[in-house]
Structure 1
Amino acid sequence: MHNIIFQLILDKVKSRLISNLLSLNNSGKETILHLARTTSVELLEETKSLHDILLTCKTICKMLQISDKNPWIDLELNGYLIKYKTRDELYDNLPYYRKTTWKFYDLYGNVITLPPDIGDLFGKSTIYHPTHELESNNPLIIGIQFLDKFNKFISEHGTDYASKSVRIHEARVAKGAITQVLQGIKSKTQEFLDTIISILESG
């Protein structure tokens, strides 16, 4: 679904970009094309952080007057909480590469294993963090505000005292899941740059 949405966004970008190119002189086109090519190489060779690459993409959008067609750049830079406030909103709107699984822990740091049916209801991971946090190599911890539904459900529907007293204190995101997210952002950014370069070269 999100791939389809992103493709629709790219189509709109192409349409707007082709229109805006008419108002750019050759010098302006060459400047932007050089910046896009350089950024693409930096992305492929990983000589710059993904955060800095996205900042450059944002600059390219401003130069081409297509910022409003690329809201995903700000969301990746600043985190998806700037737009989506609840876990359900996040899960419904996050791109596929930001969805994985959490590991749950109680107040004392003990792992809590969820039954499969409960996991399906409450185990949906939403990695909403800004790109620079994902690149920091620090563990990602999900706050209790996104776990209230689970704790309420258990307290109301637990089958015995032990299950009713279980409380998730936090969820953590595995390093492999973070790598998955970063690779997804990288692929999306590369596709964006490839589109910009292709249109500028043909224009």
Structure 2
Amino acid sequence: MTAQKPRTRIQEKNRALVLGAALEVFSAHGFRGATLDAIAKEAGLSKPNLLYYFASKEEIHVTLLAGLVDTWLDPLRELRDDGDPQQELLAYVRRKLQMSRDLPRESRLFAQEIVQGAPRIGDGLSTDLRSLVDEKAAVIQGWMEAGKLAPSDPHHLIFSIWSLTQHYADFDAQVRAVLGEDRDPLKEAEGFLETLFSRLLTP
């Protein structure tokens, strides 16, 4: 089998350009609503040029999602079992909020894939995601059994952190419609969520 040649700097640059454009198009229109023509236009490339780097719309989508799953796991990986339990969980909340601020398009792309039943990343969710969540849930359960946190279901605690932080990216238009454009939802959310989870977690 012939080894694949390493990509040139121009090839890497154009692949990144296509992926950035695709992120914009997919996050706005979903997989079904996105077209190769729209992605090529957003990237400033011809459609044949785009197809030199990616064979199909699905290949672009899967490439984006594969990188995104790993990015999504990073904040939970940082939860340390030797840290102060409450501070570790509050730091996790802050990291997830920061992701909503920094990566709103990625969050919406991920949410769309999940709502559709995760047809392209289902295997990763049932292996990588599940094993990491189970690992961290066991840590949280140990903290609860040691009396360091108020008892609750660790898995559902993690789910609640996801829902209460990612909401600000996935439903940004709704949040801003209610609060108005002169307020910073994520800045306000940080204080609110720290208070909420502090009360929930304190033994």
TM-score (normalised: structure 1): 0.33
* Higher helix fraction (1 or 2): 2
Higher relative contact order (CA 8 A, sep 6+): 1
TM-score (normalised: structure 2): 0.33
